[in-house]
Amino acid sequence: DLQPAEAAIQAAIGVPPERFFTPYAAAIDARVRGLIAGAGYVPVGWTAPADDWDFGATAEAVHETVMERVQDGAIVELHLDAPATAASTAVALPRIVADLRAAGYRFVTIPEMALPCPRG
């Protein structure tokens, strides 16, 4: 899966992708981590699933789930292609961002998260 995906991404954007990979449904065990690392990637999984993948997802439920699960250093999993995305995740996301910022969180990329913490 990694090699065809890498080729397709590079063909689409013109540069090789970042060397981070999230297995489907966070199916990360020792074997998968070894395969990913052997291909030169860093395995990345989420720590705060929004549970927004189902037909019954609502904006309120997505917001509540994320806010309950987020903590410092969290990686939030959101679906942009789920059956209810337009009515759930898309509606909840601006409120999630605003509420997390108001609570003092800031948003960074996975490569930024991988950097050493500054000493302070």
Structure confidence by residue, pLDDT tens digits, 26-52: 677 889 889 989 999 988 888 999 999
Q: Kindly report the backbone phi and psi dihedral angles of residue 98, in degrees, each rounded to the nearest multiple of 5, phi listed first.
A: -60, -45
The Cβ-side half-sphere exposure at 44, using a 13 Å CA radius, reads 19
The residue behind tokens 């199916």 is 27
Lowest-pLDDT range of 42-46, 68-72, 102-106: 42-46
Compute how many other C-beta atoms are within 10 angstroms of the C-beta atom of residue 28.
15
Q: Other CB atoms closer than 10 Å to residue 39's CB: what's the count? A: 13
118 or 14: whose pLDDT is higher? 14
Strand partners, 20: 42
Inter-residue contact 28 to 43 (CB < 8 Å): yes
pLDDT tier at 15, thresholds 50, 70, 90: very high
Give the pLDDT mean for 76-85. Answer: 93
Question: pTM of the predicted model, to two decimals?
Answer: 0.80
pLDDT of residue 55: 94
Across 53-73, average pLDDT: 96
Residue 63 has pLDDT above 80, yes or no: yes
